């Protein structure tokens, strides 16, 4: 296909495709899917080789969030049976992080439910970061605490945070249909605060919430302009007890096309295969490794993921290798710019190069009510005592009226071929006192 040849050439030059080209990727036929994967795979290998970066979620505070994000099991008014607990102690979080590092994780993502951290919460997370760094000096730490206030990003950076995750999730035009308690602009502001403080930005999206192809292209082009270093791609986990519980719109083939489109638009950025991959990609997960160069290891915030040993086996069987702590994830031009500028990805604007040669950018790990470091989730309530080891999400509580109306949910027609009976949504900690570990 001439389209794919054009997209590969542009990706190797770090040049942005047109919106029409991005939309055309999402519209390709299933008969052409392997050609699409192969083309995007050329771009992925050019910038990242056959390396796969492993990330591990630590859920510092679960449930009890005042925000009304429709996709989230921790949202205001959620009826999902999930684990609920207040802040893990620094030593508990460090022990949880250690489990992921032992499995090969290079980055630990610290997530906390809520709107955004108080100054006391920032101090608490700072102590947690220091506890993790004392035990694992080389591990990257990404914080995902929701909306930041002035000065908080700098304090997290000074405490040792390498990155900050806050996802855009969906297009600006449809954001109000998903969440009403904060705005799309609030999210953009927080990502820019993290970049300005010198942290690597992580920001991504959630597919499968009833959005159109145009919405998907809009949010990915917005991410390119925002220019984070990492873009997590989550696939909605329709958790019972949330407004989007019945939204099963994804097929494995559509997920692969979405990942390919993200790779073409953000060619030299860490694209992370995040929440929902096991449920929606199923047996086609190995193909996604040809598109994404980063995945979460083990469980998510409130749902179980694939067993860590199975993740490692999948990577090896597909002919890829786990990225070590002695390897720099980002391509040299982005890593050098980040080190030299000490702010964000160091590539904001034409002079620095960015991910696009025409003044473009690329894309970041977690977020607020999903602190989407990426991962949408759900898990059973057991007690208010914090478990010793858990995986991650977004911020601290802010006062929101209990009677706040839930966000409206966009209507969408179920995708042809979508199957809800193939993989069950397993909630983390179901039937046990403690959650499973990677």
Task: Concatenate the DSSP letters of all residues of 344-368 into one string.
Answer: TTS--STTT-TT-TTS--------S
pLDDT of residue 431: 45
CA distance 163 to 197: 10
Query: How far apart, in whole angstroms, are the C-alpha atoms of residue 293 and residue 290?
Result: 8
Tokens of 239: 């958790």
Of the listed 272, 277, 334, 428, which one is catalytic? 272
Gap between the Cα atoms of 213 and 218, Å rounded: 9
Question: Known catalytic residue: 69?
Answer: yes
**Among this protein's residues, is 144 annotated catalytic?**
no
Q: Which of 14, 44, 65, 187 is catalytic?
A: 65
Catalytic residue among 75, 107, 109, 263: 109
How far, in whole angstroms, is CA 305 from its chain's centroid?
14
Closest CA to 292 of 325, 323, 338: 323
Which is the catalytic residue, given 14, 72, 257, 345?
Answer: 72
CB contact at 8 A, 346 and 205? no
Q: What is the pLDDT of residue 418?
A: 66
Q: Are 204 and 176 in contact (CB under 8 A)?
A: no
| Res 377: pLDDT | 35
Tell me what pLDDT residue 65 has: 86
Task: Please tell me whether residue 172 adopts helix, strand or coil conformation.
Answer: coil
- Contact yes or no for 360/407 (Cβ under 8 A): no
- Given 44, 69, 192, 334, the catalytic residue: 69
Q: How many Cα atoms are found within 13 Å in the side-chain-facing hemisphere of 43?
A: 35
pLDDT computed for residue 376 by the predictor: 36
Active-site residue, 266 included:
no
Which of 144, 202, 255, 345 does the annotation list as catalytic?
202
Q: List average pLDDT for each run of 10 residues in the chain, which is 438 residues long.
A: 97 98 98 98 98 96 85 75 85 94 96 94 98 96 97 97 97 95 96 96 97 98 98 92 87 98 98 95 97 94 85 97 95 86 42 33 32 35 35 30 34 53 56 43
- Which pLDDT does position 419 carry in this prediction? 61
Q: How far apart are CA 211 and CA 261, in angstroms?
A: 15
* 255 assigned to active site: no
**CA 225, CA 214: separation in Å to the nearest integer?**
16
d(CA 102, CA 54): 11
User: Rounded to an integer, what distance in angstroms lies between the CA atom of residue 100 and that of residue 300?
Assistant: 12
pLDDT at 40: 98
Helices (H), 65-206: 90-102, 119-135, 152-159, 175-178, 184-196
Q: Which of 75, 107, 124, 142 is catalytic?
A: 142
Tell me which residue has tokens 């989550």.
234
């Amino acid at each position: 296909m001439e389209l794919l040849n054009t997209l590969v050439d542009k990706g190797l030059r770090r040049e942005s495709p047109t919106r029409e080209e991005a939309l055309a990727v999402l519209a390709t036929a299933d008969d052409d899917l392997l050609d699409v994967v192969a083309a995007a795979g050329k771009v992925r290998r050019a910038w990242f080789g056959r390396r796969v970066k492993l990330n591990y979620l630590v859920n510092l505070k679960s449930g009890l969030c005042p925000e009304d994000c429709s996709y989230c099991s921790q949202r205001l008014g959620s009826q999902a049976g999930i684990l609920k607990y207040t802040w893990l102690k620094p030593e508990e979080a460090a022990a949880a992080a250690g489990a992921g590092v032992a499995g090969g994780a290079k980055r630990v993502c610290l997530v906390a439910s809520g709107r955004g951290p108080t100054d006391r919460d920032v101090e608490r997370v700072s102590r947690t970061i220091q506890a993790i760094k004392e035990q694992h000096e080389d591990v990257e730490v990404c914080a995902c605490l929701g909306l930041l206030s002035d000065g908080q990003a700098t304090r997290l950076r000074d405490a040792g945070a390498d990155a900050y995750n806050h996802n855009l999730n969906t297009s600006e035009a449809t954001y109000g249909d998903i969440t009403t308690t904060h705005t799309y602009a609030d999210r953009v502001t927080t990502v820019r605060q993290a970049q300005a403080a010198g942290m690597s930005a992580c920001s991504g999206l959630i597919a499968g919430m009833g959005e159109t192809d145009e919405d998907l292209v809009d949010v990915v082009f917005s991410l390119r302009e925002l220019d984070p270093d990492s873009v997590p791609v989550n696939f909605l986990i329709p958790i019972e007890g949330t407004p989007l519980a019945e939204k099963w719109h994804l097929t494995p083939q559509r997920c692969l096309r979405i990942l390919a489109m993200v790779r073409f638009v953000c060619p030299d950025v860490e694209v992370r295969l995040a929440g929902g991959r096991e449920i929606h990609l199923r047996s086609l997960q190995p193909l996604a490794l040809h598109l994404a160069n980063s995945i979460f290891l083990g469980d998510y915030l409130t749902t179980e993921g694939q067993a860590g040993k199975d993740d490692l086996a999948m990577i090896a069987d597909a002919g890829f290798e786990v990225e070590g702590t002695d390897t720099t994830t980002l391509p040299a031009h982005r890593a050098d710019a980040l080190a030299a500028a000490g702010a964000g990805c160091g590539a904001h604007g034409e002079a620095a190069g960015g991910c696009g040669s025409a003044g473009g950018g690329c894309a970041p790990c977690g977020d607020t009510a999903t602190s989407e470091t990426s991962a949408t989730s759900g898990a059973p309530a057991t007690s208010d005592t914090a478990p010793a080891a858990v995986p991650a999400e977004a911020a601290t509580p802010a006062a929101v009226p209990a009677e706040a109306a839930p966000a409206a949910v966009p209507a969408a027609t179920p995708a042809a071929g979508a199957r809800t009976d193939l993989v069950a949504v397993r909630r983390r900690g179901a039937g046990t006192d403690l959650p499973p570990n990677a």
